[in-house]
Structure 1
């Protein structure tokens, strides 16, 4: 059997154009993204808010503007911390992970720099 006949046989194997296209989310991920969009706050915004609130509290305490740490403040900080934890778990469903880029020179070696100075 030739390779051409194998790819079109009913026994399986790779078929050109089959399957989900690259970058298209599955149904669960798409539904979760839609629900997150309905809330009006992205996971990154929730983590950013929690970070800002906690930093502001720490700054006030450090600057001598003593903040009374009572049960209400502790409850508030606990809720912010829990919200940030949940947001960090939801973030991959809403925001793509950023990849690091390794810069390489010609042939994968180190980057070569050359400076040419011309006097006119």
Structure 2
């Protein structure tokens, strides 16, 4: 499936807009990663344990969005974005969303 942050798909014409599709995940760091990440945060800089949690959450949200788009019969997702909100202390909601579209099929003459 084609996924783009743009509002069109290069080389294709959009035939139909199917609506917004999304994938939502709520993640916490977990005890081990939270402890190690907390210790590393004292020194400043990048915290690999927290980055890993963020990457996993984004990947999971992205895959859920793709599943939602497939269920809607989409060929592509345009205007794809991520959003993250602290859900509660130590837990973050990650949202992947975009507009599901059907692409015009061109027949070769």
Q: Normalization by structure 1: what TM-score?
A: 0.28
Structure that is richer in helix per residue: 1
Structure that is richer in strand per residue: 2
Higher normalized contact order (CA 8 Å, seq sep 6+, divided by chain length): 2
Larger radius of gyration: 1
